[in-house]
Structure 1
Amino acid sequence: MPCTATATPPDLTAVRPVVADDAADACTVIRQSITHCCALDHHNDADILGAWLSNKTPENLAVWIAAPGATAWGAYRGQAMVGFALLTRATLALCYVVPEALHQGVGRALLLEAEAHARLEGVVTLSLDSTRTAEAFYRRNGYEPSGPVQAWAGLVAQPMRKHL
């Protein structure tokens, strides 16, 4: 049963748990978000973008969603998934929103759902690695840098955490 943490943003039908069968939709959300919303991170460099997207496949998403200790949610407008989040124990591994749903409360609804679930599981501190694009979003939601910036394949990520 999902933890309902907040009111539903306008035009958002539901934030609900997803399963491995939803991996293709989740993959579409992630790939659209990275490609169109994260230019600050990949600078439209084909090599950087290719490296970032290389493991974002429906097959990998299905494995990640079904992994022990993982919980995933989709944000839906009607039948269309417009956001996706994956929690792996005490780490928010993925949280992405399609371009047309940005700045409408979708990411926040997913984040609050993941935090509520983590609290129920006894997690005291939730961690994540933020892109440059998402860092201000996480800061607005109470996350603070928790270590030096990490670099990989031309990308940088800021480790962050929030005490729940």
Structure 2
Amino acid sequence: MKIRAAIPAEKDQICNVLRRSIAELCTADHAGDPTRLDPWLFNKTPENVLAWMNDPTARMLVAVDGTTILGIGSANASGEITLNYVSPDARFRGVSKAILGELENYLREQGNNLSKLTSTSTAHGFYKACGYRDSGPAQKHRQINTQPMEKQL
């Protein structure tokens, strides 16, 4: 597995991994209910992936095995991790943890000493195991319960 910057030609494959990860792995959050799942997926389009990738204030990374994308992560220069999703085909292989480590390195390079993110119920235990702590009350975002978290870098 290699972690590297995402490239525009991968926008469709990245979008597919994002959508599959949410639909197949985050069932604790949406329970297959379209009224909860559809609002989460609505902005996961190739066009938006390309826009996120081209944001000069952010970095989008992919974990790859050859030409297969195993996971996607993104963070902005102000200290927030905005994406960290793994392909259902690569779950429990250390992909998300590796991406998270590289995103935290990026945040340090940008002068941040605090990493912030908003976790789903599915990922909450993962982030706690990686040193994050709850940083405020749970919130509802696009019909999904979320938890703000942070970690000193």
Scaled by the length of structure 2, what TM-score is found? 0.96
Where in structure 2 are the equivalents of 1:15-94 lying within 5 Å? 15-89=3-77, 90-94=79-83
Q: Which residue in 2 is equivalent to 1:4?
A: none
- Residue of structure 2 in register with 1:139 after alignment: 128
Of 93, 103, 109, which residue of structure 2 is paired with 1:104? 93
Distance 2:94 2:26 in 1: 18
Q: CA deviation at 1:78?
A: 1.5
User: Residue 119 of structure 1 corresponds to which residue in structure 2?
Assistant: 108
Q: Secondary structure at the match of 2:11?
A: helix
Q: How many residues align?
A: 152
1:120 deviates by 1.4
Extract structure 1 runs of 4+ deviating beyond 6 A: none
Instruction: Give the 3-state SS of the residue equivalent to 1:68 in structure 2.
Output: coil
| More off after superposition, 57-66 vs 33-42 | 57-66
Give the Å deviation of 1:45: 0.1
- What SS class does the counterpart of residue 22 from structure 1 fall into? helix
| Equivalent residues of 1:20, 1:63 under 8 A apart | no
What amino acid is aligned across from residue 46 of structure 1 in structure 2?
P
Q: Could you give the per-residue CA deviations for residues 116-160 of structure 1, whole angstroms, max 9, x where no partner exists?
A: 111111111010000000000100000000111110332111000
Instruction: Give the superposition deviation at 1:67.
Output: 1.0
